[in-house]
Amino acid sequence: MEAEASGEPVAPPPTEMRRSSRDAAALAGRLERWLAGRLPSGADPSVPEVESTSANGMSSDTVLFRAAWTEGGGRRQADLVARLAPDPGDVPVFPSYDMGRQFDTIRLVSELTSVPVPTPRWCEADPSYLGAAFFVMDRVEGDVPPDVMPYNFGDSWLYHASPDEQRRLQDSTVGVLAQLHSIDGAERRFPFLDFGGNGSYLRRHVDHTHAWYRFAADDGVRSPLVERGFAWLEEHWPSDEGAPVLSWGDARIGNVMYRDFEPAAVLDWEMAGLGPRELDLAWMVYAHHVFEDMAQRFGLGGMPDFLRLEDAAGTYESLTGSTPRHLDFYQAYASVQWGIVFLRTGCRQVRFGEREMPDDVDDLLHHRPALERILS
């Protein structure tokens, strides 16, 4: 946003953003050898197709591949997806990647709810096979609202959908949150999602996020704006946090595959945890409004009537009987977290030569004006 700070026209974001230095094609033989150890003797697996994807998600590497093997006297094949922890040299968004944690979350969500998730197949903690820990799940076909360029910029299937279709997508996605949050005894069923530490589940969540920020700042990219955000949160802490639920974490429409404007697969569980139900609802709404602010700055129409806070909160209340509270706080918290994401992805763009490091680190934050408005 350097141009914006100087009063010059702001250039639209790039249409592609590099995520990884890995060569997906080089993984075929390694996947074959790994499958040979996972499948029954004599399966003779082959991996004839491997490709990386430029789909949404700025953290774990996603590799699509087709596998074939012998089973029951015949040859069968499956279209699969491998999610790999990123290479440490590629400026990962998070300080660590527990692929087993993500795998177990997906597995339990599949068992405990009707939320559509890809069928989890295998999880591999040994990095010697592909160079990183990974898990494999079935591939699901569907449409994803794009991040690059953002779906609300005017050239996406969702932007051109009718108001009724957009509302069906919105309400059905809020319905995913309602189902996840209805899991009884989340802290008992998902103990591995407890971030640990002291205090309430919200306190542990924010402390975990603060540690995430310190990891990002270790590279010399301290953000005065993000640090002001943490101070704001302490000054406006909710008086009543409510019981903890399973929090999807990265609860936004860009992490969902849709068919006929309803979820076909809920993806990306890296940020899953335990905490107040408002975490997911505020994140979902705020994620859209990050893109809305960008659209306004670029002189685009956007989708101002989509995922309005009062609409999403009303739908959530009608589905759960629970009234979301303290949403100003939770949206501010989402904005602080987005600041950390933008710090890391901005540094990654610098790493891959897609931009130069600005003089003011806070210019890496694409939502800088929105966060400044919240804190003022």
Q: Which residues are catalytic?
A: 250
CA distances 22 to 3, 86, 176, 360, Å, are 32, 9, 33, 30
Element (H, E) at 176: helix 163-181
Distances (CA, A) of 169 to 166, 263, 360: 5, 8, 38
What's the one-letter identity of residue 156?
S
Residue 208: is it exposed, middle or buried by C-beta count within 10 angstroms (0-12/13-18/19+)? middle
Which DSSP helix (H) or strand (E) runs through 263? strand 262-266
In this structure, the chain runs to a length of: 376
Q: Residue 45: left if φ>0, alpha if ψ -120 to 50, beta else—which one?
A: beta
Helix (H, G, I), strand (E, B) or coil at 56: coil
